[in-house]
Homo-oligomer: A and B are copies of this chain.
Amino acid sequence: MPQYTPPLRDMQFVLHEVLKVTDELKGCPRHAEVDAGTMNAVLEEGGKFASEMLFPLNLSGDREGCTHDKATHSVRTPKGFKEAYAKYVEGGWPALSVEPEFGGQGLPVVLNQCIYEMMNSANQAWTMYPGLSHGALECLHAHGTEAQKKTYLPKLTSGVWTGTMCLTESHCGTDLGLLRTKAEPVIGGEADGSYKLTGQKIFISAGEHDMAENIVHLVLARLPDAPQGSKGISLFAVPKFNVKADGSLGERNAIYCTGIEHKMGIHGNATAQLSLDGATGTLVGEPNKGLPAMFVMMNAARLGVGNQSLGLTEVAYQNAVAYAKDRRQMRALSGPKQPEQPADTIIVHPDVRKMLLTARAYAEGGRALAVYCALLIDKMIASDDEDERKEAGDLTALLTPIVKAFLTDNGWIATSHCMQVYGGHGYIAEWGMEQYVRDARINMIYEGTNTVQSLDLLGRKVLGDNGAKLKKFGKLVTEFIEEEGTNEAMQEFVNPLADLGDKVTKLTTELGMKAFGNADEVGAAAVDYLRVAGHLVFAYFWARMAKVALEKKEEQGEGCDPFYTAKLHTARFYFAKLLPETAGLIRSARAGLAPLMAMDEALF
């Protein structure tokens, strides 16, 4: 019953009209020749794969879930998942934006971003299987030995094997310094130089399944005599099947799935408990430097999680709109709008529109931000200008926690609104809306809870370098405001953007001063601060999008593509109805630490 249409037009708008990615990529020799036509053709194909292959498996995958067989430690994924994955590999999708060195197609990350948004819209649980492979691949590319690269990268690139990240243990998730899994060096014999890993991991997404020949687990563990805490953690590659010298699969490695979790959502993805019973692994990167190495993967994953909620926001919006145009209930308060019918369609009711437009503004704003970040990553990886690489790296560092937390909080709000549009039917499984809400909820938790993201933003990224990274983003905002300073039609967007920019600057300074006195002030304000910063970023992109829409309307006159009219209305809605949230958030952030800490723990 649910439906999904890939938002190709809006992706093209963001890519080509707002961000002008083909121009921006001219500084990346590898991408200098990529043209819009090629990009659009890839997007169209990707959209077909998502909507025709993955989307029909979403409801059924949720209902069926994964099945764990204790005897064989195997996991059966829902009906159709395996076959869809085979098509995915066959289509060459895993290799899309991987560097050509190991068999990748070397296309820009911005494309992969859009393909993943569509796959997340279609089926988040399924998309997590290939999704985690990208991070594993990047991590091995950055930190692996030549042998590891040769062994793993071609297979991860083609998607014949998948990857995981094994961090969490039952007693530690956020605080990885507490982890206990051990790695003992093997000295002598055939496995000389490798390690035997022993321990228990939990919450390993895509940790076991029947979709790929092999699974490459990237596992955090402690070497003997490693320093305590997070400085004593090393990273290991631990394949499900050992790999022979010729690259073929050897014997089963001693890393076993001992159970899968029963969860609120993403039922189609196996969340595995893994037992390492002396499993053979090889060290990735330096001893005791596992956490920084893993951060390559975690940063990619954080952007990926924001993208999951972006996908859910879009698909929930599309369905809620269709329902609101079809369902008839009551009359408009201002009088019947469809008097020939027994009742008006519910899209005539202002609050139904408010819920729909909230989802729409969050989807379209999120898309602009997410593609922008992907473009920064393209520059980080492939620009021939060191300054540009550095600049892109700094902006990515600043924006990553915002993409992760702001987009997932927005996804939670938006999917819940879209479900509400359905009334009672929204609560019923067969309509598919409640699944979006359940699936969206995990995105606020994993890859660092949204509280952790907010501490990363305010504590590390903003205050940690005295606002240098924030000023880089602020400069983009200021330049845009100055450029549009004399453009009358843009003032309705530029003024609130400038106003919020000033407020963020003041708030940042105030919080910095407070944190100087007591570091816990950061923790008290961080979540409110991230949401305010998220709105600043959205206001910037909405203003940029409005600018393009205004230009096109001017250009095209009477017969203007209604796409631009819709874009302008959505921009106005964003500034009128969503941005005002910042007023309360700033007040709450400024209220500081005392109201949180005054009460003795025993009184809770």
Docked complex: A437-458 residues within 8 A CB-CB of B: 437-438, 441-442, 444-446, 449-451, 454-455
> CB within 8 A of A598: which of B175, B455, B572?
B572
Chain A 408-452 near chain B by CB (<8 Å), digits 1 or 0: 000010001001100110111110001001100110111001110
Task: Verify A352–B175 contact, CB threshold 8 A.
Answer: no
- Give the nearest-CB partner of A261 in chain B: B428
**For residue A424, which residues in chain B have a CB less than 8 angstroms away from its CB?**
168, 173, 202-203, 445-446
Contacts A178-B342, A416-B441 known; 16 new A-B pairs at CB < 8 A: A174-B423, A203-B424, A261-B428, A263-B429, A333-B455, A333-B519, A350-B523, A351-B451, A351-B455, A351-B527, A360-B604, A565-B600, A570-B599, A576-B592, A577-B595, A583-B583
**For residue A342, which residues in chain B have a CB less than 8 angstroms away from its CB?**
178
Report the minimum CB–CB distance from A108 to chain B (whole Å): 30
- Give the nearest-CB partner of A599 in chain B: B569
**For residue A18, which residues in chain B have a CB less than 8 angstroms away from its CB?**
none
Given contacts A438-B264, A596-B353, A598-B572, contact A329 B173 (CB under 8 A): yes
> CB within 8 A of A454: which of B351, B519, B520, B585?
B351
Chain A 572-583 near chain B by CB (<8 Å), digits 1 or 0: 110011101111
Is A526's CB within 8 Å of the partner chain B?
A: yes
Is A262's CB within 8 Å of the partner chain B?
A: yes
Chain A 267-300 near chain B by CB (<8 Å), digits 1 or 0: 0000000000000000000000000000000000
- Give the nearest-CB partner of A566 in chain B: B603
Report the minimum CB–CB distance from A202 to chain B (whole Å): 8
> CB within 8 A of A263: which of B263, B264, B434?
B434
Task: Verify B583–A598 contact, CB threshold 8 A.
Answer: no
Task: Verify B604–A428 contact, CB threshold 8 A.
Answer: no
Is A597's CB within 8 Å of the partner chain B?
A: yes
Task: Verify B583–A587 contact, CB threshold 8 A.
Answer: yes
Docked CA distance A333–B516 (Å): 12
> CB within 8 A of A434: which of B264, B348, B429?
B264
Task: Verify B262–A429 contact, CB threshold 8 A.
Answer: yes
**For residue A522, which residues in chain B have a CB less than 8 angstroms away from its CB?**
333
Docked complex: A127-141 residues within 8 A CB-CB of B: none
Docked CA distance A581–B585 (Å): 7
Residue ranges of A at the interface with B (Cβ–Cβ < 8 Å): 168, 171-175, 177-178, 202-203, 261-265, 321, 324-325, 328-330, 332-335, 342-343, 345, 347-354, 356-357, 360, 412, 416, 419-420, 423-424, 426-430, 434, 437-438, 441-442, 444-446, 449-451, 454-455, 459, 518-520, 522-524, 526-527, 562, 565-566, 569-570, 572-573, 576-578, 580-585, 587-588, 591-604
CB-defined A-B contacts under 8 Å, sample of 20: A171-B328, A173-B424, A174-B329, A178-B328, A261-B427, A321-B604, A324-B604, A332-B520, A350-B593, A351-B523, A357-B596, A412-B416, A424-B445, A427-B442, A434-B441, A576-B588, A576-B595, A577-B591, A580-B588, A583-B584
- Give the nearest-CB partner of A63 in chain B: B262
> CB within 8 A of A172: which of B329, B347, B416, B450?
B329
Docked CA distance A325–B597 (Å): 14
- Give the nearest-CB partner of A423 in chain B: B173
Task: Verify B264–A343 contact, CB threshold 8 A.
Answer: no
**For residue A351, which residues in chain B have a CB less than 8 angstroms away from its CB?**
451, 454-455, 523-524, 526-527
**For residue A592, which residues in chain B have a CB less than 8 angstroms away from its CB?**
576
Task: Verify A520–B427 contact, CB threshold 8 A.
Answer: no
Sorted nearest first, the 3 A-B pairs with minimum C-beta distance are A580-B587, A350-B523, A264-B434
Report the minimum CB–CB distance from A470 to chain B (whole Å): 19
Docked CA distance A455–B419 (Å): 19
Task: Verify A445–B423 contact, CB threshold 8 A.
Answer: yes
Docked CA distance A600–B572 (Å): 14
Docked CA distance A599–B352 (Å): 13
Q: Choose among A174, A330, A562, A584 the residue with the greatest number of B CB atoms under 10 Å from its CB.
A: A584
- Give the nearest-CB partner of A523 in chain B: B350
Task: Verify B437–A420 contact, CB threshold 8 A.
Answer: no
Report the minimum CB–CB distance from A561 to chain B (whole Å): 11
Report the minimum CB–CB distance from A324 to chain B (whole Å): 8
Docked CA distance A264–B455 (Å): 32
Given contacts A351-B527, A587-B583, contact A329 B175 (CB under 8 A): yes
Report the minimum CB–CB distance from A262 to chain B (whole Å): 4
> CB within 8 A of A334: which of B430, B451, B519?
B519
Docked CA distance A397–B518 (Å): 48
Docked CA distance A333–B519 (Å): 5
Task: Verify B601–A347 contact, CB threshold 8 A.
Answer: yes
Docked CA distance A426–B173 (Å): 12
**For residue A603, which residues in chain B have a CB less than 8 angstroms away from its CB?**
562, 565-566, 569
**For residue A601, which residues in chain B have a CB less than 8 angstroms away from its CB?**
325, 345, 347-348
**For residue A173, which residues in chain B have a CB less than 8 angstroms away from its CB?**
329, 423-424
- Give the nearest-CB partner of A348 in chain B: B601
Docked CA distance A454–B265 (Å): 30
Report the minimum CB–CB distance from A415 to chain B (whole Å): 11
Docked CA distance A582–B584 (Å): 7
- Give the nearest-CB partner of A360 in chain B: B604
**For residue A593, which residues in chain B have a CB less than 8 angstroms away from its CB?**
350
